[in-house]
Amino acid sequence: MSVTPFDSALQGRAFTDPEIGRLFSDTAELRAMLIVWGALAKAQAAHGLIPETAAAAIHRATLEVQIDPGALARATDENGVVIPALLAAMHHEMKAPEHAQWLHHGATSQDITDTGLALRLRQALTLIAERLDGALDRLAALAKAQAETPMAARTYGQIATPTTFGAVAAIWGNGLLAMRDALPAIRAQVEIVTLGGAAGTLSVMGPAGPQVRAALAEGLALRDPVRSPHAERSHIRALASWLGGALAALDKMAGDLLLLTRDGMVTLGAAGGSSTMPQKANPVAPSRIRALALHGHGLVQTLHAPHADQRDGAAWFAEWLALPQLVAATARALTLAAETKVVPDPARLRAPLDDPTGLIHAEAVSFALDLPRPEAQAQVKEWAAEIRASGGSLIEKAGLPPERFTPASQWGEAPAQARAFAAAVRGD
């Protein structure tokens, strides 16, 4: 087993999203930071902080230069961050010290690293939004198709009252729908420029600093937060919470599927085989979703750690360890949800409703009796105890017509909930 399955040739397909993985590669990180440097030089030249000829040379170089990440490894290990080594490599590659001296003017390592991260998170969140739409489309189709497929609801793990499988699918999907509704606000918080200089005060850039930051944001199509997020990490915490919320919603679905597949009430379009038991059809996809969610919950906590002082190396490094995995885990779990074909077995789902004891209708019977509510409940409890001990039918003991206790007469608004969810997903 590798240190992290996310980068494993053996297990990577199970736990990571290849497109997300490419965004968090060393090459993608360096390319993003070079883009930031080029845009920063243009913004600074526009406000008279560096010569226009130098800005043009820097911008051109950031588009053309190719730098091997491996060549920066030793210096990065020594410095803790890649920027000093990358600066040295850029100075060497530009072969124009009169221009290169203006590269990174008045910025600090965290400015370039975090803004480069914002560029990559913008792409990652676009991919995640696509994966989220795919999962919602799958669940909307399931909810609509099974809106009137009766089954027993369970509370505290025990059979409760009738519902429908479509309503259950709607519960799974509504959690994801809430995440989709919240995503635009999260993106606005996350897709921001970081430009504060050494202590977050933009001191080297003087009065022009705020204008440079605004111009940099415009050049990169990011938002200007009008503050320094070096140590105030509300944007990262918001993203972590959103990703954790998406995983929690997926975990709900996965957990329910693991229970439903246990007794064959639901089968999956694809299942895993056992090394020794030929009859097994293991629910691999829900198990992976649960594993990704459990892992993600711990990563969320890491990303909620406070940053000390004006900049905090340790907490910042912890973000590097946790955030890529959390993004990758969420994307992969969403893809698994979108790709998993859930096939309910109507007969097995309905079986508890057809239990001859009729105990699933105990609540409905207590309301149907022509007795004060406390007395009705006491009577039904007494009958239920007798039936458990000696058998019989609750409906018969109550002397009520059986047609009043069909699934359709007792499932309440379950079909409407299923259809409402499907309509909300599709904007109907």
Contact 168, 142 (CB under 8 A): no
Residue ranges making up the domain that contains 241:
109-356+410-428
SS3 label, residue 343: strand
- Whether 209 and 302 share a structural domain: yes
DSSP state of 106: T
- Of 55, 80, 105, the residue that ends a domain is 105
In 3-state terms the chain splits into helix, strand, coil percentages (rounded to 5) of 70, 5, 25
Cα separation, 258 vs 248, in Å, equals 15
- Evaluated on CA atoms 405, 407, 409, 410, the torsion sign reads positive
The answer to whether position 285 is within a domain reads yes
Please name the residue that has the structure tokens 């003087």: 206
Cα separation, 426 vs 403, in Å, equals 36
Of 31, 131, 187, 311, catalytic: 311
Both structure tokens of 27: 């090459």
266 falls in which pLDDT band (50, 70, 90)?
A: very high
Of 274, 388, 409, 426, catalytic: 274
Question: What's the mean per-residue pLDDT of the chain?
Answer: 92
- How confident is the model at residue 195, as a pLDDT? 97
The answer to whether position 119 is within a domain reads yes
159 falls in which pLDDT band (50, 70, 90)?
A: confident
- Whether 196 and 270 share a structural domain: yes
CB proximity list for 70: less than 8 A, separation 6 or greater: none
Q: For 174-224, write each residue's pLDDT tens digit.
A: 999 999 999 999 999 999 999 999 999 999 999 999 999 999 999 999 999
320 falls in which pLDDT band (50, 70, 90)?
A: very high
Contact 165, 151 (CB under 8 A): yes
- Mean pLDDT over 164-177 rounds to 97
- Whether 219 and 187 share a structural domain: yes
Q: For 253-263, write each residue's pLDDT tens digit.
A: 999 999 999 98
Cα–Cα distances in angstroms (integers) from residue 347 to residues 166, 263, 343, 409, in the given order: 15, 12, 12, 18
- How confident is the model at residue 4, as a pLDDT? 77
The answer to whether position 23 is within a domain reads yes
- Mean pLDDT over 352-374 rounds to 90
Contact 328, 91 (CB under 8 A): no
311 classed as catalytic: yes
- How confident is the model at residue 12, as a pLDDT? 67
Please name the residue that has the structure tokens 């560096």: 50
Q: For 49-93, write each residue's pLDDT tens digit.
A: 999 999 999 999 999 999 999 999 999 999 999 999 999 999 999
Domain of 90, CATH number, reads 1.10.275.10
**Alpha helical stretches, state H, 263-393:** 284-303, 313-339, 346-350, 362-368, 373-390
Cα separation, 145 vs 95, in Å, equals 65
262 classed as catalytic: no
The answer to whether position 369 is within a domain reads no
- How confident is the model at residue 16, as a pLDDT? 83
Tally of domains in the chain: 2
